[in-house]
Structure 1
Amino acid sequence: MELARELADFLGSVEQRLGTMLADGDAGPGVKGDTLMEAARHLCIGTGGKRARPMLVRLFGGAVNMAPEKLVDVAVAAEMIHSSSLLHDDVVDAGMYRRARPTVNARWGNIVAVMSGDLILSTALHRLAHLDPRLTQTALSVVVEMSRAAITEVEARGNLELPLERLRFIAEGKTGSLFGWCGSAAATLADKPEAAQRFDLFGRRFGVAFQIADDIRDVLGTDPGKPRYADVLSGTPSLPILLAVARDGTLKTKLKDAWAFTTVNPERTRAIGDAIEATGVVELAMERMNKELEAAVDALGPYAQQGTGAELVDWARKLSVGIAAQAQERSRAA
């Protein structure tokens, strides 16, 4: 209970600092307001975001006995780097809704979305430079990795021959690299280089598992933020889709035919999605997810039992248990 209160207090401090960081700036003489920061606040504040990255920063920091108040700026930077990627992703994907609200590009247009993403990214990096230049260097490397993974994902659309290692490269770059940075940054502030390496590896493996879990939820229809079989609809070769076409060659033909059109109608999407689920790929994807989670826990080494390291292990276990429960519920309902 005490840890729960401490975590809640920490996230409260993150929210307060995030509001300060995203306050209106100087938009020029005679200009009222700040369109770019207004757009950033629309995405970042009061939208029900999970704040997974700030929470990871706190748990990693607790595993090396870092005082929570020294971690707030790192947590805010992680959230802003993540948010900048979401602003850019929504432009790339022409997304109209995120977290049950219109996206920034839907409300203000692509130009504002891109520039708002650039502004909050540079603001986060600038803050890190004042905190510890080492963190700026590693954060820049993460941004490079995230960008390369994002373009690889775009180039992979519609590719049913995509190698699984390439898919994993995308998941690690887009999600795992920033998760890993949350750990390495906290350990760097604590001057614990071994912990930084271990935490980075944990975050990367956990991030890949996190993405596989999202792919599984898409098949199960348990992601409240998007419709079931959204990956079929968008032509995204997720792990379940690639595993399914490897098991059933007729699915590859059906998907190629469907993806040859600009849009896939709901009936066809549902029929293909049901056929994907029927191949048993949820279980196969869960096996891969659990291997990533076990590797993540192993990477922690002695820190799994130090401070809040046990909470990191618990996060990994809960992800596995949660997806298994959703799969069982879906099986009973079928």
Structure 2
Amino acid sequence: MLDIFKDIKKDLQAVEEELARVVQHQNPLLNKTSSHLLNAGGKRLRPAFALLSGKFYNYRLESIMPLAVALELIHMATLVHDDVVDSALTRRGIPTVKSNWGNKISVHTGDLLFGKSLVMISKYEDIPLIAKVLSKTSVKMCEGEIQQISSAYKSKQSIKDYLYRIERKTALLIAASCQLGAVACGAPREIYMPLRRYGYKIGIAFQIIDDILDMIADPKELGKPIGGDLRQGIITLPVIYALRNSPQRERLIKLVENKNKTGAEVHQAIELIRACGAIEYSNAVVDRYVNKAKAELHHLPDIPAKQTLFTIADFVKYRNF
């Protein structure tokens, strides 16, 4: 991943340093939990997208820095809240804030990070589009999470239902990252809208790959056990395909709808899903979204950042963690 970002490595490191500064808090406990979450690492994909999109028009790191930090803070806040909802004890192979400090502290840590993101966004008083896009995105992200909770363990879901959820959970924040880095540098609509559409399609592909990896990844590389979505009743694209096409459909329905699945039953469900071609089908859908994302880049000037965005699209498609 670092090789992909080699052209922005220095600026991405500056974002990392600013994140470390911003998450500091006078309350020792909140300081400890926020720093723990930051030090757990991550791809920093959203700040990277903001930096790369800024390259297309009058790039200045200081123009993008508050945005890049805000984007990662929003993402971090959603992760710490998700870990509470999912009762997750590890993320990327490291104990979660929930695991170390419990639900109450985790929720308030997430709230703190989101609040700090608002402080960063407020620095763009003269660019109202940034606050407008991020506020709408934050609302839709919550809608997606609520939809995921309300639809848990329900086998009768369509691909449209699934895309509604992952658009809100993942794609819209990545789309905003790609759009707003250019906006922060003063780019016109003909620059920032293709970038937004690229980010949206990459975001959809990214989440589908996440859902595929939950079925097939090496747990050590993934940083958590596989089958987590099935345990929580989250109906992903491979599951939807398998529920329609598996020769053992009735058995799979019972497994998916069972709220108290054993480890053996989770693995049985995964085997049924993999056996009917669901992984291959889902990868084909990823291919379509990645190709559509790449097509958006043809509307943009030929600069090194454009090739980097092409490379990231391929990384999303072939990543294994």
TM-score between the two structures when normalised by the length of structure 1: 0.87
Aligned residue among 195, 199, 204 for 2:200: 204
Relative distance call for 1:261 and 1:187 in structure 2 (3 A) is closer
Is the counterpart of residue 238 in structure 1 residue 236 in structure 2? yes
CA distance in 1, matches of 2:20, 2:314: 32
Cα offsets for 1:141-171 (capped at 9, x unmatched): 1110111011111112111111111111111
Quote how far apart the aligned CAs of 1:40 are: 1.5
- Give the partner amino acid of 2:28: D
Task: Tell me the distance in 2 between the aligned counterparts of 1:131 and 1:175.
Answer: 24
Letter in 1 for 2:295: D
Q: Give the conservation status (yes or no) of the 8 Å contact 1:304–1:310.
A: no
Aligned to 2:159: 164
1:295-314 map, 5 Å = 295-303=292-300, 305-314=302-311
Cα distance in 1 between the residues matched to 2:285 and 2:250? 22
Distance change >3 Å, CA 252–CA 87, structure 1 → 2: farther
| Aligned counterpart for 2:143 among listed residues 145, 148, 168 | 148
| Range with greater deviation from structure 2 (216-225 or 147-156) | 216-225
In the aligned structure 2, how far is the partner of 1:219 from the partner of 1:4? 28
Question: What CA distance in whole angstroms lies between the structure 2 residues aligned with 1:2 and 1:176?
Answer: 23
Verify the 8 A CA contact 1:65 1:307 in the aligned structure 2: no
Deviation at residue 72 of structure 1 after TM alignment: 2.0
1:87-98 correspondence to structure 2 within 5 Å? 87-98=80-91
Question: Among 45, 51, 59, which residue is 2:44 paired with?
Answer: 51
Q: Counterparts of 2:253 and 2:34 in 1: how far apart (Å)?
A: 37
Alignment partners' CA distance in 2, 1:105 and 1:233? 18
Contact 2:183/2:192, CA 8 A, preserved across alignment? yes
Return the offset for 1:80. 0.2
Counterpart amino acid of residue 11 in structure 1: L
Q: Distance in 2 between matches of 1:273 and 1:183?
A: 34
- CA distance in 2 between counterparts of 1:137 and 1:50 reads 26
> Alignment RMSD, CA only?
2.2
* Residue aligning to 1:22: 23
Measured in 2, the distance between the counterparts of 1:279 and 1:2 equals 36
Aligned length: 315
- Summarize deviations over 1:116-161 as a string: whole Å, max 9, x none: 1111111111221123452222211111011101111111211111
From 29, 37, 46, the equivalent of 1:35 is: 29
Alignment partner for residue 114 of structure 1, among 107, 118, 124? 107
Q: Does 1:288 align with 2:290?
A: no
**Are the equivalent residues in 1 in contact too, given 2:70–2:121 (CA < 8 A)?**
yes
* Distance of aligned partners of 1:123 and 1:193 in 2 relative to their CA distance in 1, 3 Å threshold: same
**Which residue does 1:221 correspond to in 2?**
217
| Residues in 2 aligned to 1:113 and 1:322: alpha-carbon distance in whole angstroms | 29
Q: Relative to structure 1, is the Cα distance of residues 304 and 291 closer, same or farther in structure 2, using a 3 angstrom cutoff?
A: farther
**Contact 1:73–1:128 (Cα < 8 Å) also in 2:** yes
1:203–1:178 Cα change, 3 Å: same
Q: Does structure 2 retain, via aligned residues, the 8 Å contact 1:58–1:68?
A: yes
Which deviates more from structure 2 when the two are superposed, residues 307-316 or residues 76-85? 307-316
Q: State the 1:195 CA deviation.
A: 2.0
List per-residue Cα deviations over 1:167-205 (Å, max 9, x = no partner): 111111111111011122112122222222222211111
Distance between the aligned counterparts of 1:6 and 1:314, measured in 2? 12
Cα deviation for residue 2 of structure 1 reads 11
Take 1:251 and 1:174, find their aligned partners in 2: how far apart are those partners? Answer: 28
Letter in 2 for 1:39: T
Q: In structure 2, how many angstroms separate the alpha carbons of the residues matched to 1:114 and 1:22?
A: 15
Structure 1 gap ranges (5+): 26-32, 327-334
Q: Are 2:74 and 1:81 equivalent residues in the alignment?
A: yes
Cα pair 1:221 1:229 within 8 Å, conserved? no
Once residues 311 and 84 of structure 2 are traced to their aligned partners in structure 1, the CA distance between those partners, rounded to angstroms, is 35
Deviates more, 1:117-126 or 1:227-236: 227-236
Residue identity (%): 25
Q: Trace 1:182-201 onto structure 2 (pairs within 5 A).
A: 182-191=177-186, 192-201=188-197
Distance 2:223 2:247 in 1: 30
SS at structure 2 position matched to 1:64: coil
How far off is 1:245 after superposition?
A: 1.1
Query: Partner of 2:55 in structure 1?
Result: 62
Q: Which has the higher contact order (CA 8 A, sep 6+)?
A: 2
2:97 paired with 1:100: no
Contact 1:87–1:116 (8 Å) recurs in 2: yes
Letter paired with 1:154: I
Q: What SS does the aligned partner of 2:295 have?
A: helix
Partner of 1:139: 134
Given candidates 120, 126, 129, the residue that maps to 1:127 is 120
Structure 2 letter corresponding to 1:204: Y
